[in-house]
Amino acid sequence: MPTSWLAGDAASSISVNLPASLQGTTIPTLLKEDAHQHLQKTSDVRDFFDFLLIAQNELPAEQLNAFALQQITAQLTSAAAIQEALDLWRRYQTYRAALGQQSNHSSASGAVDEMLTTLNQEQALQQQYLSDVAEVWFAQENKENQTALERFKIGADTTLSETEKKQRLLALGPPQKSQPVELSPEATERIQQARQAEEAWQAQYADYAGQRTQIETTAGLSNDEKALQIQQLRRRFFSSEAEAARALAFDRIYKNRN
């Protein structure tokens, strides 16, 4: 899909007011151009996208993309930088959607193996969709997740004495936390709430996807009957139009990967 996908007539003609979920906050100014008028692909760009995505369950995809276009063009002036930001926005959303599907493909057994598989899948998706920013955006987060997994493995190792566990945990050093970007307290709180809501939505989608798979594999149903039952299932799980549309988009990504 070309990077102009969002800057076409349909998206550019839509004007979106500040979503209710962002009321009371100030849009953080995080996008910058370098000396050659290209986008500076720093971790701030991801934080900016995460801020915009607070509204993802409030706005239909077309309006969310139009809102992103408005905010990107408000901070960047170079056509090249704008297109680079839009391309990253598209790929980041695709990455997040693929990330939401990974639980349906896990085949590892045991908690440690499951966690390791999840981390490996996440990093593979980062390289697949965001290879040009994967190091800047995810390296610290991946390191923290890997250390957390090591701590879990040590704690779950029944062959170690309590003294040995303490020694190995001390050798790993204290838990590290990424330094957050400087945002207003209101914006920081909204992002934290949105990330918690996203985790809950992903869990809800996983439950829905499990039941969808049962319908898809039910013998004796025609394709039309399956499609109707899945549509009804989606409506039961996702009451708002925006959430149902997002679930449908995830479904399409799932089908394209299989």
Residue with more model confidence, 228 or 157: 228
Length of the chain: 258
pLDDT tens digits, 209-221: 889 989 999 999 8
The amino acid occupying position 101 is: Q
In the DSSP assignment, the letter for residue 33 is: B
Q: What's the average model confidence in pLDDT over 117-143?
A: 91
Instruction: Indicate the helix (H) or strand (E) that contains 222.
Output: none
And the tokens for 190?
Answer: 């909204």
pLDDT tens digits, 181-229: 556 666 667 777 777 777 788 788 888 888 998 999 999 989 899 999 9
Q: What's the average model confidence in pLDDT over 68-81?
A: 95
3-state SS class at 235: helix
3-state helix, strand, coil in the chain (%, to 5): 70, 0, 30
Question: What are the counts of helices (DSSP H) followed by strands (DSSP E) for the chain?
Answer: 10, 0
- Strand stretches in the chain, DSSP E: none
The amino acid occupying position 7 is: A
d(CA 147, CA 154): 11
d(CA 133, CA 55): 23
Q: Where are the domains of the chain?
A: 3-102, 108-183
Q: What local confidence, expressed as pLDDT, does residue 104 receive? A: 53
